[in-house]
Amino acid sequence: MLNLNMDQLHIFVRSCEVGSFSAVAREVGRAQSSVSSLIQNLELDLGLTLFNREGKYPQPTDAALALLPLARQSLGQLQRFQQAANSFQRGEEPQLNILFEELVMPDRLNDMLVTFSERFPHTELQLGSVTGKEAVQQVAHGEADFAFVTSRDSYPSSLDTSNLGQQRVLSLACPEHPLAQKKQSSLNEAAQHRQITTAPESQRYRWQLSAQTWRSDSLLQALDLACKGVGWVNAPYELARPFLKSGRLVELNLTGSLNTWSLGVDLLWSKQTPQGLAAQWFAREARRLYGNFYSPPIEISDRN
């Protein structure tokens, strides 16, 4: 088993690229004899001739040229290993587990996560969509670091919470739906058409308006069914956005309280789990998702 290190790989790669031991020596601030000795020891360890020294300048052999891309790859992996170790030593977490209820998924969460990936490139994120009850339990048991949930009256004493604001919930249907053909409709009119709901059984009556309903555990499936004209559906802007932009769904103008449905959103984390740099940054930035950073629903032109 060879005990290769970053120094050996770097000298080998640069010698192949530059074609001069003396030039590499000047580059790394060493004597030429030191670079030549390192290459010779590497050749002895590998049992290969890596450079042809017959001419004025050493030329990499076929074996060296074949090993060069592997050496570059290994060098890159070692550098990333060192960078990751340095980031963890500074207090950044190797991994964060983040949960959310689909109905309160922040509109710009993914935009924030892009910035997170640039700021903390070595912290792995695990993202999951669960029910509010499951989210509370997992954070309380230390199985998740954060959760976006519908606001509740109380939480386990082991949790810390921050109210983030309100998430607007839209009423949607395909453009051909009878409700979408009118500039506005009453709640009584909407109740006469099939409604596709995704609320858990415990919250069904809060969201159910129509006597004829289909229920799905998946909001994306419910949205797709609405696109196919099966019924109308309620969904947060974040999940509805691509359907609205493509024109597959339109926002319904329903008069009455249903048109202003919104949900309070809380961010949960455990009091028992110390927060590193990545978690502290995430908790701070999450508070912006329902404030000025919030992206309102896109404008929809009037329909006849």
User: H/E element holding 190?
Assistant: helix 187-191
Q: How confident is the model at residue 238 (pLDDT cuts 50, 70, 90)?
A: confident
Model confidence at 79: pLDDT above 70: yes
Determine the pLDDT at residue 257: 58
Residue 29 one-letter amino acid: G
Tokens representing 296?
């309102």
pLDDT tens digit sequence for 147-173: 999 888 889 988 989 888 888 888 999
Please, which residues bridge with residue 197 across strands? 215
Determine the pLDDT at residue 209: 83
* Predicted TM-score (pTM) of this structure: 0.62
Asked if 19 and 59 touch (Cβ cutoff 8 Å), the reply is: yes
pLDDT (average), residues 114-142: 89
DSSP 9-61: HHHHHHHHHH--HHHHHHHHT--HHHHHHHHHHHHHHHTS--EE-SSSS-EE-
pLDDT (average), residues 239-245: 89
The neighbour count for residue 158, using CB atoms within 10 Å, is 13
pLDDT tens digit sequence for 87-123: 666 667 888 899 988 888 877 788 888 888 888 888 8
Q: How confident is the model at residue 86 (pLDDT cuts 50, 70, 90)?
A: low
Asked if 148 and 100 touch (Cβ cutoff 8 Å), the reply is: yes
Asked if 161 and 155 touch (Cβ cutoff 8 Å), the reply is: yes
The neighbour count for residue 6, using CB atoms within 10 Å, is 13
Tokens representing 10?
């770097």
The mean pLDDT of the chain is: 84
Model confidence at 127: pLDDT above 90: yes
Q: How confident is the model at residue 299 (pLDDT cuts 50, 70, 90)?
A: very low
Tokens representing 301?
């032109």
